[in-house]
């Protein structure tokens, strides 16, 4: 009789643990880290391309030094922030990272305006190739951010829903992950000026 009760208790405990979400939450967190790795890779690609782009533009637009300096400084600032898995767990560091990326994006946009002023530069095959690479990289960054945000949503939902929330509170103690958010002012339409 004693063994029967032990078997019943073991069976109930096994059933409870199999539906507690422990493994699901672990898998979802790993998915967040993998998606973050894709974001890092896309940003690294951009960092690797920018010096080449700047050098090509320098050859054609020597007097646009301020714009080129801003791009170089923004790239250096982005490069100084360590991109680690821990970044997704620290909302303040995540915001700092996102702000630095925003500055770099803004500098690149100003560089593209400089390019519009120089027809010879646009005609240069090296520049055209680099510009296409940079545009493709920006698209990859956007796709990686979207996928990261989807993984974060899945993870955050998994740690907040019952019974996973109990398992998380008692065993794992996992915190919500921060998604990418739009930069301040991103909802405003850009102003186009042809002067």
Token pair, residue 6, equals 């032990």
Those residues whose C-beta lies under 8 Å from the C-beta of residue 174, and which sit 6 or more positions away, are 25, 29, 159, 168
Higher pLDDT: 14 or 171? It is 171
Quote the pLDDT of residue 166. Answer: 87
For the entire predicted model, the pTM comes to: 0.64
Residue pointed to by tokens 């360590």: 82
- Cα dihedral 176, 22, 38, 100, rounded to 10, equals 20
List C-alpha distances in Å: 107 to 24, 71, 98, 112, 136: 41, 5, 14, 9, 17
Residue 44 has a pLDDT of 86
Q: Which residues contact 30 (CB under 8 A, 6 or more apart)?
A: none
- pLDDT mean over 70-83: 76
Q: Render pLDDT for 86-142 as a digit per residue (tens, 0 to 9).
A: 777 888 888 888 888 888 888 777 777 766 666 665 556 766 777 788 888 888 988
Nearest to 28 by CA among 159, 169, 181: 159
Higher per-residue pLDDT: 106 or 24: 24
Distance CA 97, CA 116 (A): 29
Contacts of 86 (CB under 8 A, 6+ apart): 93
């Amino acid at each position: 009789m004693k063994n029967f009760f032990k078997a019943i208790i073991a069976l109930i405990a096994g059933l409870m643990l199999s539906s507690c979400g422990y493994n699901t939450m672990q898998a979802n967190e790993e998915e967040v880290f993998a998606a973050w790795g894709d974001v890092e890779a896309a940003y690294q690609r951009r960092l690797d391309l920018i010096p080449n782009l700047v050098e090509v533009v320098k050859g054609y637009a020597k007097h646009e030094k301020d714009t080129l300096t801003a791009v170089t400084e923004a790239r250096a600032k982005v490069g100084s922030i360590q991109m680690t898995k821990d970044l997704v767990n620290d909302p303040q560091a995540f915001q700092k990272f996102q702000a630095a990326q925003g500055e770099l994006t803004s500098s690149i946009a100003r560089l593209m305006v400089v390019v519009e002023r120089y027809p010879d530069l646009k005609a240069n095959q090296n520049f055209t190739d680099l510009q296409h690479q940079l545009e493709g990289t920006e698209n990859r960054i956007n796709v990686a951010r979207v996928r990261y945000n989807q993984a974060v949503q899945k993870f955050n939902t998994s740690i907040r829903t019952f019974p996973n929330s109990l398992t998380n509170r008692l065993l794992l103690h996992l915190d919500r992950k921060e998604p990418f958010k739009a930069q301040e002012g991103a909802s405003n339409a850009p102003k186009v000026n042809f002067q």
